[in-house]
Amino acid sequence: MTLTNIHYFVEAARCENFTEAAKSLFVSQPSLSKQIALLEKEVGTPLFFRTNRRVRLTPAGRYLYEQLKDVYRLTEHAFERARAIGQNIAGDISVGVLEAQEINRVIVQRLHAFSGKYSELDIRLERAGFSNLRRGLQNGYYDLIITLSFEMENIAFAQQEIILHSRGAFAINRSNPKAAIENLTLDMLANEDFVAISPEESPNGYSLMVKQCNVHGFTPRIVRKLTSLESLLLCVEAGIGIAILDRNTRLEKDSAVRIVSIPESDFSHVSAIWLETNSNPIVRRLAKALSIGSANFQ
């Protein structure tokens, strides 16, 4: 099995058409068909059902596709990273940013300043959810992730720089009568519906949310456990439930939602997280450059 076999197979599976796959790979259809045949011979079973116009994966082909679909991309990224390490500052750094988070103006300025200092370095930014950021950091797809600091506990060999201090808060749709209470506090919401990030998506995020409510004397009635932060925000906007979150989401600018800080909250901070096993010194320099100290509380 070679990377060429894998690349051709994944593209054919994605296109469900050998002709289209060959065009996207800039190779002839016979070349692609030959690589697929070699792979099927090695596996010992057909990977595609073939018809006159299209192809579709067999059960064995579907399983192999799910296992191999990211191999070529991750391998390319690994080679790029190896070249960057060898050149010390050249190449690219892949940065994953938590979805639905507002990128603070200071953070953007520091990214620009860092890029200007290392003009040969390409910093690639990409949005993702909690679990995809953790997984991407651990498998080497991301060099550094910008997420909430409680995620540190779920990542082995992780290091962090706090880049934004952010107090915990709750978000309530203004259609809820309690949103009009002037000095609204969390304990007043004991009988309300809550929405939360699922424990599978963010184990620590979920447990911290429950802990905040427990500290205020009640167990939250959670009506939805969401698999993405964006879905959580949408539920608040739709009035489905109240959410406990940090004060760095787009809901801060939503006039239909009221955000109330939780006094003495230790909910989380926004952090730059990387692996101590990452030998590229530029990653640590970038994390340090993004750090904005303790003066910028929201």
User: What are the domain boundaries of the chain?
Assistant: 3-69, 73-166+269-290, 168-266
Give the model confidence (pLDDT) of 159-218 as tens digits: 999 988 877 899 999 999 999 999 999 999 999 999 999 999 999 999 999 999 999 999
Which pLDDT does position 108 carry in this prediction? 82
Cα–Cα distance measured from residue 228 to residue 235, given in angstroms and rounded to the nearest whole number: 11
* Angle, CA of 65, 2 and 123, to the nearest 5°: 75
244 within 8 A of 267, measured Cβ to Cβ: yes
Give the model confidence (pLDDT) of 154-164 as tens digits: 899 999 999 88
Q: Which CATH class is domain 73-166+269-290?
A: alpha beta
Q: Alpha helix (H) ranges present in the chain?
A: 3-15, 18-25, 29-43, 59-68, 71-87, 105-117, 130-138, 203-215, 229-237, 281-290
Q: Cα torsion at 278, 281, 284, 290 (round to 10°)?
A: -130
Give the model confidence (pLDDT) of 55-84 as tens digits: 889 999 999 999 888 888 888 777 766 765
* Number of neighbouring beta carbons within 10 Å of residue 174: 14
**DSSP assignment letter at 152:** G
Cα–Cα distance measured from residue 98 to residue 43, given in angstroms and rounded to the nearest whole number: 38
Residue 34, CA atoms < 13 Å, CB-side half-sphere: 6
* Number of neighbouring beta carbons within 10 Å of residue 253: 9
CATH topology agreement for domains 3-69 and 168-266? no
Across 287-298, average pLDDT:
63
296: pLDDT strictly greater than 60: no
151: pLDDT strictly greater than 90: yes
> Would you state the CATH architecture of domain 3-69?
Orthogonal Bundle (1.10)
Confidence of residue 117 (pLDDT cuts 50, 70, 90): confident
Which pLDDT does position 115 carry in this prediction? 83
Q: Which fold has domain 168-266?
A: D-Maltodextrin-Binding Protein; domain 2 (3.40.190)
Which pLDDT does position 85 carry in this prediction? 59
Burial of 119 (0-12, 13-18, 19+ CB in 10 A): exposed
Which pLDDT does position 172 carry in this prediction? 98
The top-scoring range by mean pLDDT among 18-32, 89-103, 170-184, 279-293 is 170-184
Give the model confidence (pLDDT) of 220-245 as tens digits: 999 999 999 999 999 999 999 999 99
